[in-house]
Structure 1
Amino acid sequence: MKRQHSGFSRFFKSTPKTSTFIIFITLLNIALYNWPLFSFSLKNLDGITLNSLHTLLAVFAVIYLETALILYLLFLISRRLGKAVCVVLALANSLAVYFVVTYNVILDRTMMGNIFNTQYSESEQFLSPTLLVYFVLLGVIPAYLIMRSSIQKTSRIRLALHLVLTIVVISTFLWQSQSKWLWVDDHAKQLGGMTMPWSYVGNAARFQYSKSQENIVQTPLPDATFLSNNKTVVVLVIGESARAQNFSLYGYDRPTNPLLAASDVITLKNATSCASYTTAAVKCILSHHTPSGVFTENFEPLPSYLQRQGIDVIWRTKNWGEPPIKVSSYLSSGDLKQNCEGNECGYDGVLLSHLAEQIAASDKQKVFVVLHQTGSHGPSYYSKYPKEFEVFKPVCRSVELSKCTQAELINAYDNTILYNDHFLDQLRQTLAGIKDTSSAFLYVSDHGESLGEGGIYLHGTPYSIAPEQQLHVPFLVWMSPSFIDQQHINVDTLKSRESSTQANVFHSVMGAFDMRSEIYNKDLDMFGAASQP
């Protein structure tokens, strides 16, 4: 190890030519930061054969070509610029490799969107000693050596010739390896999401470009009419990282929903999310069209639409990631904490603080409330519930989830579901206590969660290859007796629904308020579909 290290250091002290430096950095990038990609490739090839080695060499050639191409172009502009970019990428690569190895994530566009929309209060939960080790050994040390290195000045013409030669040689090899392209294409999402640094660099740019293409001004939806003016309150609870598999209401063998199981809450079967990460899922929940539809316009979301039609809209959040909304009351957990009492003010329970009073204070006949939970967001599941809800023990208390036993991880996660059971039952009691008002709540999680199945943790896996644990979500409905009578609901019909999606939310809320417009879809209105003539 000492000889290798001294040889590594000697290279940076030897004042190499620019082309030599680029070749060395390219190979170093592959060796230090792309070994998870080659490990994945080996696991998915048919053993160590000549055919497999040829495929691995083709993958190596692709990474080498794209890395060398970018570096040559940067150094053609400026040696200082090239070195600066190498330093930044070394630091960023060390962090990226840690997350790929620790949580088995794929750094595609959706995952980069997830990262950009993560607030510090959540990101700090990922800090760990192992992350620091990765950052120092794979980031700080290489970055320091790169900064200290001296590079011989090379003419731009010579550097350009080296670039052309590299492109010709490697492109020729890749052209002769066409038989391996099919395997690469079959695993393109995984390979593309693990190629350092171009996975996160390219997909970060793709995400930002897609954001820039969104219309700044939302297109208003058609005005609506109301079939009645009954006093009605509807609450939408947007859960976080809750998966149906761990709800006893869905057959899980642990009592994670004891209170809801004893109540008149309806469990909707086979519910699915339209995305595996929060921002896309929440946008889908609040959208009037199905996720399969192709829309070029950025329509106003459900809360803004209802507010503009005269409904009093209250948004309470302990999370983030919602699209731009215009509502009469927007309260963050920080706002709610100011008047909160009890031991749940640091948890989702803060969302219920003085909720009944705020609803009662409204002078509107129709009130819509959104409660956006922090729910079961990982990796620190143990921090998402008060101590009295730590029923399943022992629990995982590390953010490096693979270091916990599967039992400890499941215990911590199940405790978050148990606390959510308490939260939803408290909401049920709150709504049931509002006099002379028809009320209902819908609860649906934004997406599910992976807890180590197949070596995958958390969420955000590309939708096309996301495991079912990230897409099958709980979807619950509660209705007051007066709401059932008002809407003429056949409860058995609602219970017998074969499947539901997040696309049902928008139109079901419209149906609950007896609201009709050109965009109302009765087929997606669960209440309308269950109404009796």
Structure 2
Amino acid sequence: MTLDRSRWQPRTTTFIVLMAAANALLYHAPLFSFAADHLEVGSFSGILTLVTALVALFSSTALLLSLLALVSHRLLKPICMVLAITSSIAVYFVATYQVVLDRTMMGNVQNTNLAESLELFHPKLLVYLALLGLLPAGLLAGVRVEKSPRLRVAAMAASVLVLTVTWGWMASGTWGWIDKNAKRLGGLVMPWSYVMNTVRSAAPKLWQSDVQILLPEAAFTDDEKSVVLLVIGESARAQNFSLYGYERPTNPQLEKAGAEALQSTMASSTYTTASVRCILSHVDSSSEFSTRYEPLPSYLQRHGVDVIWRSKNTGEPPIQVQTYETARELARDCPGPERDYDEVVLTGLEERIRSSSSQKILVVLHQAGSHGPSYSTKYPIHFEVFRQVCESVELGTCSEEELYNAYDNTILYTDQILSRTIDVLKRIPAASPLLIYISDHGESLGEYGLYLHGAPWMIAPDVQKAVPFIVWMSEEFTERRNVHPAQLQAQTAHSQRDIFHTILGALSIQSEVYEEEYDIFNESFSNR
């Protein structure tokens, strides 16, 4: 049996109206759910606000599709088919993880690797894709759109605009609520939230120069051997570290080792790329120049520091170092089951440090850490101390206890990784070793209905912003720098910007870009 494609042959104007209506009704359940939770839907004002939102959704889509039709009638239907498929996927992730598809989130999507993408897969995604994506796209494939005169399309667009403005004037009382929640609502509008914000995120990269501005020359103030080891965590929130008062013993090894937890550290961003850039930058990440200067590892390598970068993650800026090793490369020399977890970055580390001929060494370990949603896969089974655990990527289907159990096990495993790293440093002779651990950002575990990270900064809860900042100092280091734990305990506020300047100070490097008020071991450190 063949499909009779002549049964329905709408004109361009009719097609646009129907597509705008279908888009408003099919792909905005998360938006209307948010509105229902924040409005008195039984009241006249609540109903009026919902209708205004529906009018805005319809008109914005109709106007943009009209513009597309004026440019190219032939592209109208194929693009609508593609948008149906992409919107079905977007709606799934918004509904499942309560994410907002702003510029930050779309930047995260562009930086997500295949392994992270596969972690997010759930069979339910196929249901959304089939019902809201492939089915509508298939129906559209059987439609033949007859071209309307451009003048008629323009007239229809003008009519929609006039009617929308008229409605907006009549319902002006709804503007206040819409303006108040514009950031959240804008990230829920399909498909324009992810389309426009993908462009906004990607466009600067197209004309941004790949050439980094070199930082000014630096000099060593001594020639004594120094080893600094920086561990960049992933999605670890300070709230779940027992070093910060959490009731569960998630940091037994760090407590035993005498590590110091620095208070009140706020991440610069809620997503990895920006936060890691800030950790490695000498300026605040909010500066437009933060992406233009060479990062800390490249700067130190250029001045003779032996920089060793080992990563089980992604998202770092372009760096130029002597040794850059991925987890996959390290796994070749790690035959045991630990090759699949963060401890793979410790493979042969002691031997690599000992073999260095440099007096100044910086090691950077970039963890997979507590990256969700598959928390239960981030640690070996014998670290599953807190049970029962959430094993689903649909975090909303797990109980709060199961979700916290799985997440806390990742923190317990990080504690073990840091403890083993400290043991390595203790065995390095006459090196005044120092360990610094800081997470890129925090994580939401269902608070306020949010999961994972990457929420827009203005609406992100503190659990996505407050991160652990932990240091372990050898006796040689404290004596050389004349630093005491009480000095660190007296500090009341920190930022990721402290890392750059603290490491310069720890390696006895003097430079024009070094700012002692950001060096936690300097008496001039400023509580901000």
Pairwise same-fold verdict (TM > 0.5): yes
Q: Which amino acid aligns with 1:181?
A: W
1:491–1:530 Cα contact (<8 Å) kept: no
Q: Does 1:285 align with 2:279?
A: yes
1:423 to 417, 427, 437: 417
User: In 1, Cα distance between the equivalents of 2:450 and 2:385?
Assistant: 25
Please, which of 215, 231, 234 is the counterpart of residue 228 of structure 2? Answer: 234
Q: Is 1:511 matched with 2:505?
A: yes
Q: Contact between 2:284 and 2:290, CA under 8 Å: does it hold in 1?
A: no
Correspondent of 1:318 among 305, 312, 322: 312
| 2:460 matches 1:462 | no
Aligned to 1:3: none
Query: Following the alignment from structure 2 to structure 1, what is the Cα–Cα distance between the partners of residues 397 and 474?
Result: 45
Q: Identity of paired residues, percent?
A: 48
Q: Could you tell me which residue of structure 1 aligns to residue 26 of structure 2?
A: 32
Pairwise CA distance, 1:154: 1.7
Q: Match for 1:275 among 269, 272, 277?
A: 269
Q: Deviation at 1:13? A: 4.2
Check the 8 A contact 1:231/1:366 in 2, yes or no.
yes
1:447 partner amino acid: H
Corresponding position of 1:4: none
Instruction: Determine whether 1:329 maps to 2:323.
Output: yes
- Aligned partners of 1:22 and 1:282: how far apart in 2? 44
CA distance in 1, matches of 2:207, 2:145: 41
Deviation at 1:341, TM superposition (A): 3.8
RMSD across aligned positions (CA): 1.7
Which residue is equivalent to 1:167? 161
Tell me the amino acid that sits aligned with residue 493 of structure 1: Q
* In 2, Cα distance between equivalents of 1:236 and 1:211: 28
**Structure 1 match to 2:295:** 301
TM-score (norm 2): 0.96
Aligned residue identity for 1:314: I
Structure 1 CA distance for aligned equivalents of residues 398 and 190 of structure 2: 27
Match of 2:373 in 1: 379
Distance in structure 1 (CA, Å) of the matches to 2:202 and 2:94: 21
Q: Distance in 2 between matches of 1:45 and 1:459?
A: 26
CA distance in structure 2 between the aligned counterparts of 1:99 and 1:408, rounded to whole angstroms: 21
Deviation at 1:297, TM superposition (A): 6.8
- Structure 1: gaps of 5 or more residues: 1-8
Aligned partners of 1:310, 1:175: CA distance in 2, in Å? 66
TM-score with structure 1 length normalisation? Answer: 0.95
In 1, the alpha carbon distance for the partners of 2:224 and 2:482 equals 14
User: Number of matched residues?
Assistant: 523
Measured against aligned partners, the alpha-carbon deviations of 1:417-464 in whole angstroms (never above 9, x if no partner) come to: 110010000000000111121110110000000001111000000011
| Cα distance between partner residues in 2 of 1:327 and 1:352 | 18
Separation (CA, whole Å) in 2 of partners of 1:112 and 1:167: 29
Rounded to whole Å, the distance in 1 between the matches of 2:353 and 2:438 is 21
Q: Does 1:54 align with 2:48?
A: yes
Aligned to 1:95: 89
Alpha-carbon contact 1:219-1:297 (below 8 Å) kept: no
Aligned residue number for residue 431 of structure 2: 437
Deviates more, 1:11-20 or 1:441-450: 11-20
Note the C-alpha offset of 1:54. 2.1
Aligned to 2:477: 483
For 2:335 and 2:473, how far apart are their aligned partners in 1? 28
Specify the alignment match of 2:104 in structure 1: 110
What is the letter of the counterpart of residue 491 of structure 2? R
Partner of 1:148: 142
Q: How many angstroms apart in 2 are the aligned matches of 1:117 and 1:102?
A: 20
3-state SS, counterpart of residue 505 of structure 1:
helix
Cα distance in 2 for residues equivalent to 1:71 and 1:352: 54
**Aligned partners of 1:324 and 1:153: how far apart in 2?**
49
Offset of residue 332 of structure 1: 0.5
Which amino acid in 2 is paired with 1:478? W
The alpha-carbon deviation at position 10 of structure 1 amounts to 11
Give the superposition deviation at 1:171. 2.2
- Alignment-derived partner of residue 384 in structure 2: 390
State the secondary structure of the residue aligned to 2:339: coil
Between the aligned partners of 2:522 and 2:337, the Cα distance in structure 1 is 40
SS at match of 2:433: strand
Q: Which of 362, 384, 389 matches 2:356? A: 362
Please give the secondary structure, in 2, of the residue aligned with 1:153. coil
